[in-house]
Chain A
């Protein structure tokens, strides 16, 4: 596997070989291809953008063009070993419903997102008084796809509220793994593995 985005590398490293996975918001299928080629995973994808879908299909991947906000209800319960949602939760209309669907469709679910409580974001808001523009959040407030910013603690609270079990979590700082201590302040990025 070559140069996967760091959160995808974490997910790819922890998916069981020979399992099945639904990658929601799979982009051009980079993670799916890595899972298929590296671990023999039966990977399926859901992606909104037609160009990305065409890229993924022409790589031999099974990808359906569709919208996570409206189309997840069509997938049967527990139909995949894993449901994967990488850097997409904060772009959805109703992240709470998405998380519910994710843990219904997948026996387990991977969720990764940029942490809006990272100290740089906090400083930017506190001292600049403006919506932060950082390395992981590069778009301005009016142009960003991220319509529901979320922090690590917010996500933990939502998981608890839905009665979900967090099996594992990983935190990233400058694309490198970091210890979980004070993650809500120090981590730029989080990856969670959950189940119902």
Chain B
């Protein structure tokens, strides 16, 4: 058997804004084998700066897959059992159509790329699932923005999702969520290299993108986690420099995180995807009644939160659970304990493994 092609041309996509993308490309990775009756497909949705390499080596960084501990033979998302698909989201920069892709006229879209939403990302994925000949997904699974896609999948395509697992996520972006994203976007826009989004072929706005990543990275960690990891320890020195070098380990760490991020991510993609997340409010189309988004659904839901996650706190997960209860949807929920804040969903968690593995296995 040949490996499946990794990029699909999916025709045109009508966007929520009213704009139409004429030539949608979606890049994706697959693992495991699709059953003859095509009933064992699991779609994994990635987070803001994630990618399709959920369980395979990243081509730019050489690092192993971002959820390799969850996806693989004998893992909770078991590739001996399921056909696992992960696609690069619309607006991103690893093969799927986004602001860095070639637009009409043969030059990169830049800021002429239309503003996209979470629903647009999900509709693009649905086109890929159509393309793969899959009618109904055994499950859709994701954390953070991946969890928002999961909830959107369940709301937009209830008949195509048997089970939904949404981890460390929310059904809307809060004022605080939007505020942090705005800091990141302003950092990019303030970088002279950004040049109105027209920097392809020249110097990229790495300083701005790096600061955006630094601010965001703080929101992924807990205060206790930062204290434990760095405290007030100094970086490679015995005393304060009385200057503005990275005296503290935490500064050095953030600078490294910011800089290394710029080698694998496009600044305009960061603008567009954060905007899509800020626009996300699943209840908006239903007069604020979140339960209405799930009315009559037959999808089984598993919602998980982490006790130290202040980016998408347990209260937001509970709001989703209440709505699902009100819609009489089969829903499970647990708040897991971890010292690692929002990032916990990417890290070792035996309880998460046990719950996700069991939930998927028992799904009809």
Q: Are B351 and A50 in contact (CB under 8 A)?
A: yes
Q: Which chain B residues in 312-364 approach chain A with CB under 8 Å?
A: 318, 321-322, 325-326, 328, 330-337, 351, 354-355, 357-359, 361-363
Q: Which chain A residues in 32-80 approach chain B with CB under 8 Å?
A: 42, 44, 50-51, 53-54, 56-66, 74-76, 79
A60 to B292, CA, bound (A): 25
Q: Are A64 and B330 in contact (CB under 8 A)?
A: no
A65 contacts across to B, CB distance below 8 A: 333-335
Q: Are B358 and A60 in contact (CB under 8 A)?
A: yes
A74 contacts across to B, CB distance below 8 A: 322, 325-326
Choice from A42, A58, A61, A64 contacting B325 with Cβ under 8 Å: A64
A65 to B355, CA, bound (A): 13
Instruction: Please judge, given known A-B contacts A50-B351, A79-B328, whether A58 and B358 are in contact too, CB under 8 Å.
Output: yes
> How many of chain B's residues have a CB under 8 angstroms from any CB in A?
25
Residue of A nearest to B328 (CB): A79
Give the Cβ gap from B267 to chain A, nearest Cβ, in Å: 40
Give the Cβ gap from A35 to chain B, nearest Cβ, in Å: 14
A62 to B20, CA, bound (A): 40
Q: Are A75 and B325 in contact (CB under 8 A)?
A: yes
A83 to B325, CA, bound (A): 14
The A/B interface has a contact count, at CB < 8 Å, of 64
Give the Cβ gap from A53 to chain B, nearest Cβ, in Å: 5
Choice from B321, B331, B336, B355 contacting A58 with Cβ under 8 Å: B355
Q: Are A57 and B326 in contact (CB under 8 A)?
A: no
Q: Are B334 and A59 in contact (CB under 8 A)?
A: no
Interface residue B300 (Cβ < 8 Å from any Cβ of A): yes
Instruction: Please judge, given known A-B contacts A61-B332, A65-B333, A65-B335, whether A54 and B363 are in contact too, CB under 8 Å.
Output: no
Residue of A nearest to B337 (CB): A50
Interface residue B273 (Cβ < 8 Å from any Cβ of A): no
Q: Are A59 and B331 in contact (CB under 8 A)?
A: no
A62 to B358, CA, bound (A): 12
A54 to B362, CA, bound (A): 13
Q: Are A54 and B333 in contact (CB under 8 A)?
A: no
Q: Are A57 and B325 in contact (CB under 8 A)?
A: no
Give the Cβ gap from B189 to chain A, nearest Cβ, in Å: 42
A76 to B71, CA, bound (A): 37
Residue of A nearest to B301 (CB): A62
Choice from A44, A54, A64, A66 contacting B355 with Cβ under 8 Å: A54
Q: Are B302 and A58 in contact (CB under 8 A)?
A: no
Instruction: Please judge, given known A-B contacts A62-B300, A62-B330, A74-B325, whether A50 and B359 are in contact too, CB under 8 Å.
Output: no
B363 contacts across to A, CB distance below 8 A: 60
B332 contacts across to A, CB distance below 8 A: 53, 56-57, 61-64
A59 to B336, CA, bound (A): 18
Q: Which residues of A contact B (CB under 8 A)?
A: 42, 44, 50-51, 53-54, 56-66, 74-76, 79
20 A-B contacts (beta carbon < 8 Å) = A44-B330, A44-B331, A50-B334, A50-B335, A50-B351, A53-B332, A53-B333, A54-B334, A57-B359, A58-B357, A59-B358, A59-B362, A60-B358, A60-B361, A62-B300, A64-B331, A65-B334, A75-B326, A76-B325, A76-B326
